[in-house]
Structure 1
Amino acid sequence: MAYTISEVAARTGLSVHALRFYEREGLFAEPINRNASGRRVYSDDDVEWVALCARLRESDMPLEAIRRYAELIREGPGNETTRLALLREHEERIADQIASLSAALSLISYKVRVYEKRLAEGTAAGLWAGSASSD
């Protein structure tokens, strides 16, 4: 299947500008083909790759790391351990972020319960009044 840049934008939720940026930055695993009039023509594999890159960006993988990953893919077989190391490093960063967010969620959930309880009791007026209260 062949797709125009507009079709890929619609399928992936990325803008045409973002797709051009990805190409300029060397984030594609393979060069994007062009038709006889010079317009970009994307394959199913390209669309799948864009979706992967978008997910990596959503998870805060640095552009340089995505670029490096794409370079490794373009180099072909033989560097799989390097690719794995790159992905593991990002996986660890995400796990650390999740742990930090989980701790923040626990604290916020506790505060919500305190406020709900105090509001239900009619004792919310003293919340965070500068004392060492349980809020």
Structure 2
Amino acid sequence: MSMTEELLSISEVAEATGLTAHTLRYYERAGLMLRAVDRASSQHRRYTQSDVNWIVFLTRLRSTSMPIARMLEYVELVRRGDETVEARHDLLVLHRISVAAQLETITQSLTAIDYKITTYETMKAGRS
């Protein structure tokens, strides 16, 4: 962290990421942060922009239904450094396959919903 880097409070990070302070504390307790979150002399958390960027990435993984255990596996690989690049790549490729399958299922469901909406709109128009 540079001397001029702005440090953010937990409430500022919550607002910036759309997460609750509770979730941010949980991510820290669960070991999902790459490094320990800095603390002010008051013991209040102080996040760097790097911390925020990492939290945003974690949020993206969670929004794609990556289990916390898999996220922890990824975090541990990142912490171990460049020797794990291949393992990190493979983990994300496998997760991408899962996300693509979820997306296909959702797309099919959306198509079915659109079909029903069109059917009902046609029925409603026939009653007018």
Q: What TM-score do the two structures reach when normalised by structure 1?
A: 0.84
Within-5 A mapping of 1:1-135? 1-122=6-127
> 65-74 vs 109-118, which deviates more?
109-118
Query: How far did residue 49 of structure 1 move?
Result: 0.6
User: Once the 2 structures are TM-superposed, how far is the Cα of residue 36 of structure 1 from its aligned partner?
Assistant: 2.8
Structure that is richer in helix per residue? 2
Instruction: Note the C-alpha offset of 1:118.
Output: 2.1
Q: Which amino acid aligns with 1:56?
A: L
| Aligned partner letter, 1:15 | T
Opposite residue 59 of structure 2, the aligned amino acid is: A
The one-letter code of the counterpart of 2:102 is: Q
Name which one, 1 or 2, has greater alpha-carbon Rg: 1
How far is the alpha carbon of 1:27 from its aligned partner? 0.6
- The one-letter code sitting in structure 1 at the alignment partner of 2:37 is I
When the two chains are superposed, the root-mean-square deviation of aligned CA atoms in Å is 1.5
Unaligned runs of 5+ in 2: 1-5
| Mapped partners of 1:20, 1:110: distance in 2 | 43
1:63-109 CA deviation, whole Å, 9 max, x = no partner?
A: 11111111111111110111111111111111001111111111221
Distance in 1, matches of 2:84 and 2:69, equals: 17
Answer with 44-53 or 3-12: which moved more: 3-12
CA distance in 2, matches of 1:12, 1:45: 13
Shift in Å, 1:35: 2.5
